Structure 1
């Protein structure tokens, strides 16, 4: 069942659900850290990397990867309900990985995507989000030569799952994809709108998974 776009807006608007502001990491580009965490936030999601997912995941990664230096990058895209939003994020994420790899050849990447941001990451790894809530056709993919530099892919509330799709192929073993029970954005027939806002609870599990891949 396709979820109306207005639901995506409702579920990702933080103002009415009692969310509180937390200290967020500072996003940076062209920093030759050991690991670059590139995060695509959800539709209308506040925060530097994303209040619900990106910021808490980055904090959890800092605690898990104490022997590594980390930088962060907030994917630059509208994260709104426009038809081209996810495609813009797709292009920006791929361009970022290519640019970083050119400047920092020893750097590896952890890709993080929440809701529409998961569509962005899906497309960038070659899995189309076309037809999903706030999805788009693929406009760019991470080049095959750079695929080994992607250590882990962390997805939350991934809309393609409601269509029966998932990350397969090259990135499958490096991907963890959280879908809360009843989340209508990633579960076909899900009816628990608030489930889509609860992925902060999975930040530690996601960081543990990523730490095992680095």
Structure 2
């Protein structure tokens, strides 16, 4: 059995050999981890281009076809038929496009209308567009009521036939004495071009002159200003040409088939204005189609006359 001393020496040798063995082994370096690459940033999308602005539509020129449509209606078959009815040989001709009231009126007064002289109606009608109350060198005799009227596009004479004459006849029924009504027609060209331009300015100037002359010579005489179709356009153009001291004396304004229906009439109180427009009248809606509804304002003549006379109640209503 080894002695304790020997065992100690053996343990020391073993320890030394163990240490020498550990020092002689090559040390393996710890690998340095490879850094993880950063992700490539996603590209920032470019903003979408703004849509190109819509082109502003150019001003629409008047449709030549529409102009021809209006011209063919107001100067074509309808009015040609009326003119034929005015002639004695054709007075019995009936036309389904015309209301019975207008046919009857034409049959009664056809020759007076055809000859541009409505004196046959028993009223002081001036067909020359000049003031019947001035320029004669004689003493002015003022009527009970004066009317300045502008006809529609393509109508004959200077008061036309579709609306003016029936309206005048109805007014005469409400005046105590038909010879107390003076009517002045506006003598203007009344062509389709004027209608599409918003009314003839030449006609408006003439209308304003007639109003001024009538009210200057007979300031106490009620004056009714009226127009049909393009003639209504003239009323809108003529009133701004007159001073307030003149427009304030206009007793009433009556319009038929008004292309500017719903627009305030300048210079005249709303209570003194009345517009007659049929539901099916394309002209009253700003259009250009001439239909039966635009040709039948003869049916409104009596109602229009009664309304106008009530605006000047001092004249009295005929029984």
TM-score, scaled to structure 2: 0.56
Equivalent positions of 1:153-164 (< 5 A) are 153-161=253-261
1:122 shift after superposition? 1.7
The answer to which of 63-72 and 8-17 deviates more is 8-17
Any conservation in 2 of the 1:39–1:112 contact (CA below 8 Å)? yes
Which of 181, 184, 188 is 1:77 aligned to? 188
What 5-or-longer segments of structure 2 have no aligned partner?
1-61, 83-94, 120-124, 134-141, 313-319
Q: Which residue of the other structure, out of 119, 125, 146, is the alignment partner of 2:239?
A: 125
Q: Could you say if the C-alpha distance between residues 190 and 80 of structure 1 is closer, same or farther in structure 2, counting changes exceeding 3 Å? A: closer
Equivalent in the alignment of 1:173: 271
Aligned counterpart for 1:187 among listed residues 264, 272, 285: 285
User: 2:147 matched to 1:37?
Assistant: yes
Instruction: Give the distance between the partners of 2:288 and 2:278, measured in 1 at CA.
Output: 9
2:214, 2:305 → 1: CA distance?
Answer: 22
Measure, in 2, the Cα distance between the counterparts of 1:152 and 1:124: 15
Matched, 1:142 2:142: no
Corresponding residue for 1:66?
A: 176
Aligned length: 198
Are the structure 2 counterparts of residues 56 and 48 from structure 1 closer, same or farther at C-alpha, using a change threshold of 3 Å? farther
1:189 and 1:176 mapped to 2: Cα distance?
21
Superposed CA offset, 1:107-159 (max 9, x none): 22111100000000122234xxxxxxxxxxxxxx2221012321111101111
RMSD: 2.7
Contact 2:224-2:253 at 8 Å conserved across structures: yes
What is the CA–CA distance in structure 1 between the aligned matches of 2:292 and 2:301, rounded to whole Å? 17
Deviations 1:74-110 (A, max 9, x none): 1011111234761111100101111122222222211
Taking structure 1 as reference, are residues 166 and 5 closer, same or farther at Cα in structure 2, changes over 3 Å only? farther
Tell me the TM-score normalized by structure 1: 0.80
Greater relative contact order, per chain length (Cα 8 Å cut-off, separation 6+): 1
